[in-house]
Amino acid sequence: MKKLTVLSFLALSFLGISCTSNSQKEVPVLDLKDLIVDTLYLEKDTLTKDLKENFTYYETDSGQILATFINHQLLVYSFPNGKLLKKQRYDKEGPDGIGSFVTGNYIDEEAIYFLSQQKELIECDFDGKVLNRWDFPEISEARKYANYSMAGFNRIRRSGNKLLFVDFPFVFQAGFEDYDKWGMIFNTESMTFSHFNFLYPKIITEYTDDDQLGLFSHLYIPASDEHLISFAISDSIAVVKNGRQTWKWAGTTESLVFKKGTTVPSGEYTVYQPDHESSKYNGLDFDTHAEKILRWVRVKGPTKENMEQERNRLLVFDEKLKPEAELEFNREELGMYGFNTPKGYALSLYSQTTDDVTAFAVIDFSKINSLE
């Protein structure tokens, strides 16, 4: 079923954002399930409860591969039949230890990299051996402490000899308004660290000390050499290129209401109590099959009294952030984030997941036009 809605492009001066575009653009509102073209099944054993969605696809001389790292284990699958080919455990301690607190990883056909203990970047082979270790650079007093992490759907990205990841503040605090060293680049050839810089939108000062509305999600587009940053409270996306930050509208046609949470002191600690009914923008990703930019948004969250009122959409854009569709979905049926395969973008499919396999719905976003 198709609906049409009108997207108005506004000059959001209160965000410090300037947007220029056509005044109106009709955007189809579709059902995400109508774009499912295949189902992918991956084996799992009794010790593997959830395979999640952080898979990497790559090709080898012996075939196509999907790989993931979970619970200190590397799992390697054949694609597309989903057979488990390799299961390699990595030590937490010792000469090949990667630490007990691993906040991110990146896998490709050459090696696997870990963000470890908030202290170092580690390169390993596929047999559990450490190849290299590099200490993270010291941070300024303005940041207080770093949190290099994939949290908030901030996957580690790679482009050529560059690994790109972020310092992710779980809570935006007063004093961070002028801090811009949130992005990190590691050059695998020169083995040096540098930054890509960006600032939060000005309106963030209204949402300090909220552990949901102070979040962001980073995506890097190699073809355009652009960093895209989606902030939880901003309809527009920050576009960073050549050291310059601009803003581009990439919002939903729905009316959003951002509701700041509260904090409660608890001894020496502060307990954050977000308003789960609040709207918020979630993660960003790039579908390599159809070449679409994806942005998730929670239009309205649940309450204890009405859990079923939650509504979510997946916004689909072309590579220039021109809106193409808004896809409605139920989080009890489909996972919110996924991974790339040659056949399409894979999202967890809960209705067909069992104790023996995890099922993923393969989405072909190139079929959007055929549903309009």
**pLDDT of the residue at 23:** 37
- What are 46-53's contacts with CB under 8 Å, separation 24+? 46/355, 48/75, 50/358, 51/75, 51/358, 52/348, 53/335, 53/337, 53/338, 53/339, 53/346, 53/347, 53/348
Angle (nearest 5°) at CA 239 between 367 and 250: 45
Residue 18's pLDDT band (cuts 50, 70, 90):
very low
Residue 372's pLDDT band (cuts 50, 70, 90):
low
The two three-digit tokens of residue 225, written as one number: 């050499």
For 227-275, how does the pLDDT look when each residue is reduced to its tens digit (9 = 90+)?
A: 999 999 999 999 999 999 999 999 999 999 999 999 999 988 889 999 9
Overall residue count recorded for the chain in this entry: 372
**pLDDT of the residue at 287:** 98
For 321-340, how does the pLDDT look when each residue is reduced to its tens digit (9 = 90+)?
A: 999 999 999 999 999 999 99
pLDDT higher than 60, residue 344: yes
For 48-62, how does the pLDDT look when each residue is reduced to its tens digit (9 = 90+)?
A: 778 989 999 999 998
Alpha helix (H) ranges present in the chain?
368-371
pLDDT higher than 60, residue 353: yes
**pLDDT of the residue at 20:** 38
62 Cβ contact list (under 8 Å, min separation 6): none
**pLDDT of the residue at 25:** 60
What CA–CA distances, in Å, run from 284 to 43, 172, 287, 363?
Answer: 27, 19, 10, 16
**pLDDT of the residue at 308:** 86
The two three-digit tokens of residue 102, written as one number: 């691993």
Separation CA 54–CA 150 (nearest Å): 10
**pLDDT of the residue at 24:** 52
pLDDT higher than 90, residue 17: no
**pLDDT of the residue at 234:** 97
The CB-side HSE value for 356 (13 A sphere, CA atoms) comes to: 1
Separation CA 241–CA 361 (nearest Å): 34
**pLDDT of the residue at 163:** 98
pLDDT higher than 60, residue 13: no
| Cβ neighbour number for residue 212 with a 10 Å cutoff | 24
Peptide bond into 302 cis (omega under 30): no
The distance of Cα 276 from the centroid of its chain, to the nearest Å, equals 20
Residue 22's pLDDT band (cuts 50, 70, 90):
very low
**pLDDT of the residue at 258:** 97
For 194-225, how does the pLDDT look when each residue is reduced to its tens digit (9 = 90+)?
A: 999 999 999 999 999 999 999 999 999 999 99
The model carries a pTM of 0.92
71 class by beta-carbon count within 10 Å (0-12 exposed, 13-18 middle, 19+ buried)? exposed
Q: Where are the domains positioned within the chain? A: 3-371
pLDDT higher than 60, residue 6: no
For 103-153, how does the pLDDT look when each residue is reduced to its tens digit (9 = 90+)?
A: 999 999 999 999 999 999 999 999 999 999 999 999 999 998 999 999 999
The two three-digit tokens of residue 78, written as one number: 């054949």
For 276-307, how does the pLDDT look when each residue is reduced to its tens digit (9 = 90+)?
A: 999 999 999 999 999 999 999 999 999 888 88
Average pLDDT over residues 61-71: 95
The CB-side HSE value for 371 (13 A sphere, CA atoms) comes to: 23
CB 124, CB 133: distance < 8 Å: no
Top-confidence residue, 30 or 24? 30
Amino acid, res. 95: P
Superfamily (CATH) of domain 3-371: TolB, C-terminal domain (2.120.10.30)
105 Cβ contact list (under 8 Å, min separation 6): 54, 69, 112, 113, 114, 115, 150, 156
345 class by beta-carbon count within 10 Å (0-12 exposed, 13-18 middle, 19+ buried)? buried
